[in-house]
């Protein structure tokens, strides 16, 4: 009897009784070239660094970094919530972006995933492409999914230079607006928006026509401007072309049904006054986005460096901590302030643990979605105003070749961007550089 194989599209639909259910990635339904589950990347950022009292002092147990090194280490109070995932995490110490060490401590958040010092150009402060966008677009790893990437934050939008509300930057170094409302994120990923496919197609066609007209008028204007203004217009036009590419991408996916996801249990109405629900719902949505293979790249900024102006600055106070985020950071070096900040560090680590648990619950291939997802968690300060020795954790990705269950104390001369080179390589692409990297960090790899 001959063996019959049925290779089905990744977005095969189960249809019964009028109900359509989009399937997650399944090995038995994959074609001959799709036996390996997709690899994913997520970065979660928090501002103002961590509590760093002397390990041997009264509040030493609240020092964010573990005791010991290598595989012989012990989590302190701030990170002990990660003990159940000990074999899925690597704590990194000593690393930072060399170019960023000389800028203001509160200015460094913009550079977490770019590794570049913000440069003053004729068009204003200029950044460079972020790691997630570099992998999604330059390496085209985001091409197979409906959304090349998902950019999230607690504050939303882009913020302002040096106080950005996003971790993601386009190929032209422009900040990519972040989403911060769960209901909007859910609608974007899984919603139907009520319009027919034909109506959506007409809308996209109109948008494309408007963009074409705008580009044509801009070319005419360009010839009449001075060099400085031409630079500003070029920057603007690059953003328009990126929007045009998004429109084209949306049109290509119009006939592909979105995954059907049950929203029960999701607090889609969570807002800035209920930060616990808000953060956990956003993490749930990240997990669902990965599980349904809607995207393979996500960035999530828990809070920005914008002090009292930041929406998320008040989250600790609303959750019962005695100060806002900025106040906790500045008080960490005074008396019991180390413990107060350490408890907030612990809460943020619990958020990481929550996402890891959610991803580990989705089976995939011979492991879980967590096993095929690399999570980069950390801050661009060690403690507030200090841009050295970033508190960093690389989590997940056991099936991607990562060696975990260790605390790596790295030489401070090693650029943080070396980790970015390793992440690219473990995503399955050839890469030997990113920003100011000097190589890869081989201790992360089996």
The domain spans of the chain are 41-184+264-444, 192-257
pLDDT score recorded for residue 200:
58
Confidence of residue 1 (pLDDT cuts 50, 70, 90): very low
Confidence of residue 202 (pLDDT cuts 50, 70, 90): low
Q: What is the pLDDT of residues 32-81, one digit of tens each?
A: 445 789 999 999 999 999 999 999 989 999 999 999 999 999 999 999 99
pLDDT score recorded for residue 314:
97
pLDDT score recorded for residue 3:
35
Confidence of residue 235 (pLDDT cuts 50, 70, 90): low
pLDDT score recorded for residue 10:
36
pLDDT score recorded for residue 32:
47
Please indicate whether residue 215 or residue 179 has the higher confidence score (pLDDT): 179
Among 102, 124, 75, CA closest to 352: 75
Q: What is the pLDDT of residues 11-45, one digit of tens each?
A: 333 333 233 334 455 554 454 445 789 999 999 99
Has domain 41-184+264-444 been given CATH number 1.10.357? no
Please indicate whether residue 8 or residue 25 has the higher confidence score (pLDDT): 25
pTM of the model: 0.85
Percent of the chain whose pLDDT exceeds 90: 67
Please indicate whether residue 251 or residue 402 has the higher confidence score (pLDDT): 402
Q: What is the pLDDT of residues 315-350, one digit of tens each?
A: 999 999 999 999 999 999 888 999 999 999 999 999
Q: What is the pLDDT of residues 249-288, one digit of tens each?
A: 666 777 788 898 988 889 999 999 999 999 999 999 999 9
């Amino acid at each position: 009897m001959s063996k019959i194989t049925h290779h089905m599209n990744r977005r095969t639909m189960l249809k019964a009784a009028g109900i359509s259910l989009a399937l997650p990635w399944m090995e038995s339904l994959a074609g001959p070239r799709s036996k390996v589950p997709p690899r994913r990347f997520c970065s979660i950022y928090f501002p103002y660094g961590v509590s760093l009292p002397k390990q041997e002092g009264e509040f030493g147990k609240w020092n964010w970094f573990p005791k010991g090194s290598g595989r012989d280490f012990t989590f302190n109070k701030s990170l002990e919530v990660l003990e159940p995932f000990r074999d899925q995490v690597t704590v990194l110490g000593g690393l930072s972006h060399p170019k960023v060490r000389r800028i203001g401590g509160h200015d460094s958040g913009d550079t977490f995933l770019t590794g570049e010092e913000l440069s003053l150009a004729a068009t204003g402060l200029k950044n460079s492409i972020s790691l997630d966008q570099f992998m999604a677009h330059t390496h085209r790893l985001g091409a197979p999914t409906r959304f090349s990437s998902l950019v999230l934050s607690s504050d939303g939008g882009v913020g302002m230079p040096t106080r950005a509300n996003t971790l993601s930057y386009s190929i032209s170094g422009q900040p990519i607006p972040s989403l911060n409302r769960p209901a909007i994120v859910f609608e974007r990923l899984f919603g139907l928006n009520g319009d027919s496919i034909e109506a959506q197609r007409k809308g996209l066609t109109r948008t494309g026509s408007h963009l074409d007209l705008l580009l044509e008028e801009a070319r005419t204007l360009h010839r009449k401007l001075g060099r400085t203004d031409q630079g500003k217009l070029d920057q603007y036009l690059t953003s328009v072309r990126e929007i045009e590419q998004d429109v084209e991408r949306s049109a290509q996916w119009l006939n592909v049904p979105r995954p059907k996801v049950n929203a029960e249990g999701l607090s889609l109405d969570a807002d800035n006054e209920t930060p616990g629900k808000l953060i956990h719902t956003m993490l749930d949505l990240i997990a669902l986005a990965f599980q349904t293979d809607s995207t393979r790249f996500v960035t999530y900024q828990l809070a920005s460096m914008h002090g009292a102006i930041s929406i998320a600055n008040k989250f600790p106070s609303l959750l019962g901590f005695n100060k806002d985020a900025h106040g906790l950071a500045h008080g960490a070096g005074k008396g019991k302030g180390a413990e107060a900040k350490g408890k907030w560090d612990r809460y943020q680590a619990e958020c990481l643990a929550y996402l890891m648990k959610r991803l580990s619950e989705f089976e995939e291939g011979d492991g879980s979605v967590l096993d095929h997802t690399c999570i980069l968690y950390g801050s661009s300060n060690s403690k507030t105003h200090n841009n050295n020795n970033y508190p960093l954790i690389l989590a997940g990705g056991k099936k991607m070749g990562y060696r975990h269950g260790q605390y790596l104390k790295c030489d401070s001369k090693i650029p943080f961007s070396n980790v970015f080179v390793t992440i690219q390589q473990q995503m399955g692409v050839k890469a030997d550089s990113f920003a100011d990297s000097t190589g890869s960090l081989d201790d992360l790899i089996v």
